[in-house]
Each structure stands twice: as structure tokens, then as C-alpha cells.
Structure 1
């Protein structure tokens, strides 16, 4: 595939800045033998939310990437060179931030990109990375559309397809005793894909979807949608949204369809701390799902990177994406993006089991030709389509202070 001339692309993206983190040890008499050296090493870009409707996901994702970078460089880097990370903002689907961000990273010679968080935002630049033959790993994309995307050869993700989240959520709603649901889903690849998965699984499990609407996430108010839910005869409502829940929730409550009147079920796009948004008790009893195993094994390490973290959603997945890129480069003895792509499946399947970058990199250094990386987000085995083939979905419930706690974890294979 032909690549755009990088010099021309750099001119086209002049003025777009990136924040670069390079955690390397200086080469001085006190350096350890494992110190990496700055130079022509692996360069990873991120396109993750600093602004927009998913900005609440940004801090744990950045922390996951930065933690992995720190660990990699403290262990000697990749092929002796320090790993450099360049952070860019993704914005959200309503903004034109992600595409220029991709241009900026391409012009700076990255071999891999981590992002975006939003499925719709990833679709804004996936073709650019494909044309440039640059690996992309999303820690949070869940739209099923990526599995069959025609130009997805360089695309991978450490979060599972919503085929799985929809199944687990539908099963939980049935287990909680609900028989009729309404679905409110935002109009984008994530919203429609997850809505379809919930609907299909809920009906297969014996339930009935009595109302479904795909709404405009930029709408100023949601009275019509809330009224329709209240009049639908549903005994639970599935809300597939981003931060527009702060408007959707009150609209539902005003129509007599509050979290206490109906069963409210949220998803990874809106499962957040609402203690500063609503009066005490507003969210109490609502339940929700998001992909990911218990973050406890990596929680303290993420807090060392960002002590202000209160939410860890997709932090482990971001760490795993970064670690896997580095391990694939080591396994292929090259930081070339095509070599990384060709080795990602190999380092994640079969072979000797290992957890985290340091343990797995030591196996490679000791001559182990085949490793099987298990991550902090759970076992990761990439399919030929770049999907994880099994994953854990957490079930959460809101407390009176409008924060949530875990009530269960559900591990399943995608099939």
C-alpha cells in the first residue's frame, strides 16, 4: 500500500502539538545495567479522551499507558532503546479532533497508536492508520463493526466486542426478574451495536423489548424519549449513552421512570461516579456493566502514576495494549509496525503463560520463543480479526451516594 509522503503530512499538520513522555534512565556511572538508551526506538502514540463526552475515561487510560511505559523502560526498554509515548486528545464523535491527532502522530513517526476510547472516534482515523500501515490497539472500543471491518488489518483491541457485554447484561436483567425492557441508545456505532446485542440476547433469553429508540446524543432535552419509556409498559430500561445521562436521567425521573420506579441498567459508556451530579439517592439501585476484570492487582500502581484517580475503567486494558506492542516488537526483533502486527497474535496465544510486561519480556530474553501473555484486564488471546476471544464483564450497583460498587464478575468466551 502506498504511504503519504511524511514530509508533506508534517506540513499539513503543523500547529498540532503532542505531549511526549519518555521515561528513560540517563546513561551515567550510576545507571543500572538495565537502563535503556534514548534513540531510534519504539514510538507509541495515544489518541484518548482529554475532552468531550468520554473525558472521564481518559485519566485511567493515560495512567495505564504511562505505567506500562515506565515499567518497560525500567526493564531496559525495547531492544535496548527507551519507549517514547506521544499523547493526543481524541475529543468525541461530535468534534473533529481525532483525525488531526492521527495526522500529527503519523508525521512524528509512531509505529503504533493506542486509541480511541469511543468506537465512532476510532472510525474517524482507522483508515489513515491502515493506509500508513501503523498498528492500532484500542483499550475500549466495543462496537461489533470492527470485527468485520474491511480495512482492519492493523486494528486490534484489548476490550471485548459488545456481542459479549450485550449477552452478560441481558442475562443479568433476566436474573434480576425483569421481563419487559425499553432501550435508549445513542446514535453511533457503539450505541446501535450494543443495543442490537442486548435486544437479541434478551429476546433469546425469553424477555420482550417493548420500546427502543436511537436518539441524537447532541439533543438539548429528552422529554419525548422519557415519556415514551414511561408509557411503554417496560419494567426496566437499558440506557446506552455517554455523559448525556446527566440529562436523560432527570427526564426519566420527571416522567415517573426513575431508578427506583424502574430497573435502570447502564453500560461502560455511562457507568461513572455521579455523586457531584445528582442529589443523594438519585442513582441508588441502578445497575450496570463494563468489561474488565477486578483492577485490584494493578490499582496501587495506577495510583502511583496518577494519585487523583477515582475510577480505573480501561486502565488495565490500556496497560495491556502498551505491553503487548512492546512484547511484539521484542519477539519480532524490530520496531517496524508490520513486524509488530505480525507478532501480536503470537505473543498473546499458545506458548508459556506469563503476566505483565516484565515477566513476559524476561521469558523472551531467556530464549523462550513462544509466550502467551495474560494481562491485568484478563487473559488476552487475539483472534485473526484482532478481537480478544474471551473476557470478563463486571456487574455493578449504585449506592445512595451515587457511586457504584462491584457485585459480580462474569467471565465468558466470545463464540
Structure 2
């Protein structure tokens, strides 16, 4: 390239540069300032938009939670409806609120059970009402709860109160002593009661207004405990028994089967159900155990303790005697999985030392069983005992019987209830009632207080009695 062309090129570049700068200067936007008022207004608009955005985020999060909860309800209801649909009529003429009376032990000797069972009843009622809405029924089901404190006379008062309010379909009561107290009044006034846990053999009476969704101790828990103790190598039982219909009935059922197996039931102790202090009984028991151990050896002797939650006071007194922790103790459904036993370190440590395996009717594990279990644990933070599942089933069987008869009349419900129960697969499993209106015998789970890897004490299922084979399986 010649020198002239180089010069022309440089000049052209300089001219282009100058022109570009000039055009850029002319084209740049004019800078405009804003007043304080305008700034304040813009900031207010920004803050308003930001708040709306945050509100929308919160609303979205709430909707997502609501959708998840609805999804959970749908899944729960799908599990709940297993075996339920066939009982619904084409059309129900009932309207308004149908009240079911609940006789729950919300305080007193079995408060842990009462809380669990009332919670299960509420879960069932909620799901029943969703079901009723889905099929177009114009009535809803409500649980009206009363606290019996596990006291027979108070249970009767509550039944009379329900009757005065026109409530004649009842859940409960929990104990056999309470059932005994209300039975005459229920029969005379045609009030239907379904107990989830009364097991006394002498209350197995055909044709009355009492149904029981658990087996009697004569054919169920009594033989189960006897087999468990005998299989454990024990040959001598010293019974300590709550002196009421349930306690003595269970003791006699255990004794009968244990004797048949070749064991011996030694003289024991029976105490008043209202007793709250047991120093004399503990001293007497210490003498009896000491004498038996000296004759037969600690590995052959055991204590069978048939109690409600007065177990805490009894164990506190028993912990004062070393000989009483030298033998194994066995419990029953009256104390099985009792939350209060874990709260007192003296009671807990004594129970852990004597092992205290305790039996209770075994519900059939299923998706419905797990659904009830999860929901109760979500509300109460603890594992429900077996009878909570039976309460859940009682609510559903009442609802389906009402649908089947299109009536709340106790006689109408009583007539169809066994068939409805038999066709309904519940949270506790299949419900096959015998001629006395009691559930036929089945398996029993064995609970025991154990220590976890983190040194916490919890109730845990450690085995099962298998009814069909009269055998015990330890986990």
C-alpha cells in the first residue's frame, strides 16, 4: 500500500470515529431527575407489588398443603371403604345429625386407652361423613363423648344421661365391670352398646343389647397367657388380681388352661379395684414369692399381674423388695402399652427388670390398620393399643347398619349388625361374632418395655400367640 493510501485511510478512520462519537452524543437519552414525592410513590408501588407476590407465594404454599392433605384424605378414605360399599342402600331417607354416644375412659385407671380410642372414633366419624357426602346421604354422624373414668356407677350415669337425650347407640364401655353395671339398664330400655374391650366370660349372653368386638378371656386371652407362661418354662404362678368381673374372670381362665398344661397356680392376692396404696399387698406377695422360690427355684416361679393402671402404685410398692424382682412377671391387656408406666422411672425400671410381657388382642395388620395407626400417632404421638382399631370399626359398623336399615332404631340395628360386621373388613380385621354377640377368638400380640439404642424405654411388640396352633412366636 502506498504512503498516500495509508494517509487517506487514517484520515477516513478519524473522520468515522468523530462522526460516531457525534451521533452517539446526539442519540443518548436525556437524563431526567425525579422528585422525592415521585420516589416515595414508586417505592410504595414496589412494596405493594412485593407484598402481593409474597401473599401469592403463601397462598400457593397453602394450596399445595391443602392438596396434599386432600390427597391423604382420599387415600385414607379408599382404605376405609374396603368392604363398606355393599351395605349402602340406593337412597337414604334419614336427615340431619345422627348421634352416637361414646363411653370413654378419658381419665382414671385407663386414661391412655380412653384417649387413644376417642381419637380413633373421631377419625372414623370424619371418614364416615366423607363417605355419606359422596353417596348423597343427607345425614351426618357425630360422636358425643362422655368420660366414665372406668367407674361402673359413673358409666351407668352416663348411659342414663344418653338415654335422656335420645341417644341409644353407644360405643363402649371399656371395662367388663362397666358393662356389667349398664347391662340391665340397656336391656330394659333397648339401648345398644358395643364394647371394644370387655372380655369377662360371664358377660357372654345371647340375645342381649351388648355386643363385644373382642374375644372373651375364656377362649382368648386366658389360654393365650397360660400357653405363653408355660412355654417360657414357668411351672408355678402366683396371681395378683384386680378383684372385679374382668380380673377374676381372666385369672380363672388362665388357671384352667395352665393346670391343663401341667402347671400349678399357687395362692395369690386379690385387691379392691378402688385401692390406691399397696404396701400391705407387696409385703404379702414378697413372702409368697420367697416361699415359692425356696421350694421350686426362681426360674420356675412367676407372678401373673392382672391390673389396670393402678399397676403404677403396685410396682412402686413392689420395688421395695428384692425378691419380687428375682422372678419374671406377666401382664395382660389391662396394662399392655400403658403410657403412664413409662412416665414414672421407678415403675418403668421395675417393669423392665421383671420383663412383664403383656398380651392384647391382635388386630390384623393391613393398609386400613396402618392408616388408623398413622393418624392416631399423628394426633397423639404414640402407638395406639389394639382396642383403638376396634373402636374405629364400631363407628363404621354402626354407620353401615344405619344405612342398611335406613333407621337409627336400636332393634333394627341389632338385627342386622352381626351380618354387617361379618361383611365389613375393619382396621382390626374381619369381625365374626358368635352366638353371644362377641368376637370369636383370635391371635394375641405380646408387648414388653424395652430399651432402645439411645437408652430410651418404649413399649414394643416382642411376640405373638397364634390361636390356630396354640403356639407362641417370639420376635
Shift of 1:407: 1.6
Instruction: Provide structure 2 residue ranges, at least 5 long, that are not aligned to the other structure.
Output: 1-87, 294-300, 471-475
Shift of 1:301: 2.4
Structure with higher helix content: 2
So what's the TM-score if we normalise by structure 2?
A: 0.69
Determine whether 1:278 maps to 2:336. Answer: no
Distance 2:164 2:316 in 1: 45
Distance 1:225 1:322 in 2: 45
Show the 5 A alignment for 1:121-140.
Answer: 121-140=178-197
Shift of 1:128: 1.6
Residue matched to 1:87: 145
Do the aligned partners of residues 240 and 85 (structure 1) sit closer, same or farther apart at CA in structure 2, a change above 3 Å counting? Answer: same
* More off after superposition, 243-252 vs 118-127: 243-252
Do the aligned partners of residues 327 and 232 (structure 1) sit closer, same or farther apart at CA in structure 2, a change above 3 Å counting? Answer: farther
Shift of 1:231: 2.9
Distance 1:137 1:131 in 2: 16
Shift of 1:232: 4.2
CA contact (8 A) 1:278 1:402 kept: no
Shift of 1:84: 1.9
Distance 1:225 1:175 in 2: 27
Distance 2:372 2:351 in 1: 28
Corresponding residue SS for 1:286 = strand
Residue matched to 2:428: 377
Instruction: Provide structure 1 residue ranges, at least 5 long, that are not aligned to the other structure.
Output: 1-33, 350-371
Shift of 1:345: 1.1
Determine whether 1:303 maps to 2:377. Answer: yes
Residue in structure 2 matching 1:113, options 170, 184, 190: 170
Determine whether 1:162 maps to 2:217. Answer: yes
Distance 1:159 1:72 in 2: 22
- When the two chains are superposed, the root-mean-square deviation of aligned CA atoms in Å is 2.6
Residue in structure 2 matching 1:225, options 281, 284, 291: 284
Residue matched to 1:386: 437
Distance 2:282 2:351 in 1: 19
Show the 5 A alignment for 1:13-412.
Answer: 39-76=95-132, 79-93=137-151, 96-148=153-205, 153-163=208-218, 164-219=220-275, 220-221=277-278, 222-233=281-292, 235-259=301-325, 261-271=326-336, 272-273=338-339, 274-279=341-346, 281-284=349-352, 285-293=355-363, 294=365, 296-304=370-378, 306-349=379-422, 372-400=423-451, 401-412=456-467
Shift of 1:297: 4.6
Deviation >6 Å, runs of 4+: none
Shift of 1:161: 0.7
The Cα offsets for residues 232-253 of structure 1, whole Å up to 9 and x where unpaired, read as 4161110001122112223333
* More off after superposition, 376-385 vs 229-238: 229-238
